[in-house]
Amino acid sequence: MRIHYKRRNLQKPQGIQYRVNEKINAPEVRVIDDEGNFLGVMKLGAALDKARENELDLVEVSPKEEPPVCRLLDYGSFKYQKEKELRQQKAHAKKVEVKGIRLSVKMGAHDEDVRKQQALSFLEGGQKLKIEIILRGREKAHGELAIKKISDFIAALQEKYTLYTEQEIKRQGGNVSAIVGRKA
């Protein structure tokens, strides 16, 4: 018996697509040269001739204008610069993670201090903090103890930082949790 696997399309996600040279479908275009000077409104054929004359490509940079705006430039280097800018924007985008701290209703004082130090280091790093308690067995009948434990933990953290609550303390089945973050 033969096993067939689905072929996956492994192409890279495409960025902004620009129409180049013969793919431009407007009869007239506004033309800007490679130095940024406005050359005027031309017929598409004349603009393509001008691009070939200068050994450049005619790239439609603003298709929604009437007539569309095209630039004379080297498309390969233009595309590389745009991809480079996109990569830099992704690198500089700040990612905020939600870090988790798990407490227990019967937790000792030292264990709680360790969790508090851990939580403070997460908040110092700019991450959000999910504080949760999982209730087991007979603890489920006393959910108010878990709510009090979390509110005391948040109050202890607020001695060092001013916090905002993204998600209030809430109980979902056997879990009690809250999400807080540090105000900038």
Would the pTM of this model clear 0.85, i.e. be above it?
no
Give me the residues paired with residue 71 across strands. 32, 59
Q: Kindly report, residue by residue over 128-166, the tens digit of the pLDDT.
A: 999 999 999 888 898 899 999 999 999 999 998 899 999
Cα 179 off chain centre by = 20
Using CA atoms, how far residue 114 sits from 57, 96, 107, 109, 159, in Å, is 62, 23, 11, 9, 16
3-state secondary structure of 121: helix
Q: Is the pLDDT of residue 66 over 90?
A: no
Q: Which of 50, 70, 91 is the last residue of a domain?
A: 91
- The tokens of 59 are what? 């790239």
Q: For residue 24, tell me if it sits in a domain.
A: yes
Q: For residue 173, tell me if it sits in a domain.
A: yes
Q: For residue 108, tell me if it sits in a domain.
A: yes
Q: Given pLDDT bands bounded at 50, 70 and 90, which one contains residue 78?
A: confident
